[in-house]
């Protein structure tokens, strides 16, 4: 349940990156900002590429006591020593992920704009539910997760909630009181200084 506490930050990797170069960039952001979790969100299905990237990111994250989860690839979690999985298909595979990975693993579910899907994911054992996008984007069908959804969730549901998608400093200010986490990634990586961009985005949180 959202409280007056400052929302925490989940850092999302770009869909494509050079493991060696990028681990330094991740490291600089993790060193300069309080990050609760790193989410590996890669666009490839090439196992070698995934494993190299995951290895590099895990070393950087765990050296700083930051948890690391990977999008969807249940089988890679244990094999690569990751902390859990972020499911992008809503509540559909939460129960299976929890059963396969055990009680200690992080299992999160992205549920788009569906309150019902979010509630189902929570009941199935998700550690958190993510809704989005909350900002303007040309991707998808243009639907946005409304402020009222987060407001209702933070009052009624115990499962932590993440706000993500096309974030701006104005949206961070507006959604800060009704979310437990913000997930940020694409908003910062194209900048020359991702850390400075991240700090500017979350500045409204104080």
Predicted confidence (pLDDT) per residue in 6-60, tens digit: 999 999 998 888 887 888 899 999 999 999 999 999 988 888 989 999 999 999 9
- Among candidate residues 36, 29, 27, 46, the one with its CA nearest the CA of residue 8: 36
The yes-or-no verdict on residue 123 having pLDDT over 80 is yes
Predicted confidence (pLDDT) per residue in 149-204, tens digit: 999 999 999 999 999 999 999 999 999 999 999 999 999 999 999 999 999 999 99
Domain boundaries, the chain: 8-205
CA 57 centroid distance within chain: 15
Per-residue confidence (pLDDT) for residue 118, from 0 to 100? 98
Per-residue confidence (pLDDT) for residue 45, from 0 to 100? 84
Query: In CATH, what class is 8-205?
Result: alpha beta
Predicted confidence (pLDDT) per residue in 104-114, tens digit: 999 999 999 99
Beta strands in the chain (DSSP E): 8-12, 37-40, 67-71, 84-87, 106-110, 128-131, 161-164, 181-184
Per-residue confidence (pLDDT) for residue 43, from 0 to 100? 87
- Whole-model pTM: value is 0.94
The yes-or-no verdict on residue 4 having pLDDT over 60 is no
Per-residue confidence (pLDDT) for residue 144, from 0 to 100? 95
Task: Give percent of the chain with pLDDT exceeding 70.
Answer: 97
Per-residue confidence (pLDDT) for residue 198, from 0 to 100? 98
- Among candidate residues 155, 86, 172, the one with its CA nearest the CA of residue 127: 86
Task: Give percent of the chain with pLDDT exceeding 90.
Answer: 84
How many Å apart are CA 80 and CA 98, to the nearest integer? 17
Between 125 and 1, the higher pLDDT residue: 125
Tell me the mean pLDDT in the region 89-115.
Answer: 97
How many Å apart are CA 163 and CA 93, to the nearest integer? 21
The yes-or-no verdict on residue 3 having pLDDT over 90 is no
Per-residue confidence (pLDDT) for residue 2, from 0 to 100? 42
Between 82 and 137, the higher pLDDT residue: 82
């Amino acid at each position: 349940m959202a409280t007056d506490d400052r929302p925490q930050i989940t850092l999302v990797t770009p869909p494509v990156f050079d493991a060696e170069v990028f681990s330094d960039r991740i490291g600089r952001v993790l060193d300069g900002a309080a990050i609760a979790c790193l989410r590996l969100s890669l666009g490839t299905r090439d196992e070698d590429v995934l494993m190299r990237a995951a290895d590099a990111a895990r070393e950087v994250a765990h050296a700083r006591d930051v948890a690391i989860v990977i999008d969807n690839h249940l089988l890679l979690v244990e094999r690569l020593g990751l902390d859990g999985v972020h499911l992008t298909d809503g509540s559909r595979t939460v129960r299976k992920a929890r059963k396969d990975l055990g009680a200690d693993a992080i299992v999160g579910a992205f549920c788009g704009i569906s309150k019902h899907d979010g509630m189902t994911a929570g009941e199935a054992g998700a550690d958190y539910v993510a809704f989005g996008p909350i900002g303007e984007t040309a991707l998808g069908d243009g639907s946005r997760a409304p402020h009222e959804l987060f407001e209702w969730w933070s009052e009624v549901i115990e499962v932590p909630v993440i706000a993500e998608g096309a974030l701006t400093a104005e949206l961070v200010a507006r959604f800060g009181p009704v979310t437990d986490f913000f997930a940020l990634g694409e908003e910062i990586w194209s900048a020359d200084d991702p850390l400075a961009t991240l700090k500017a985005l979350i500045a409204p949180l104080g």
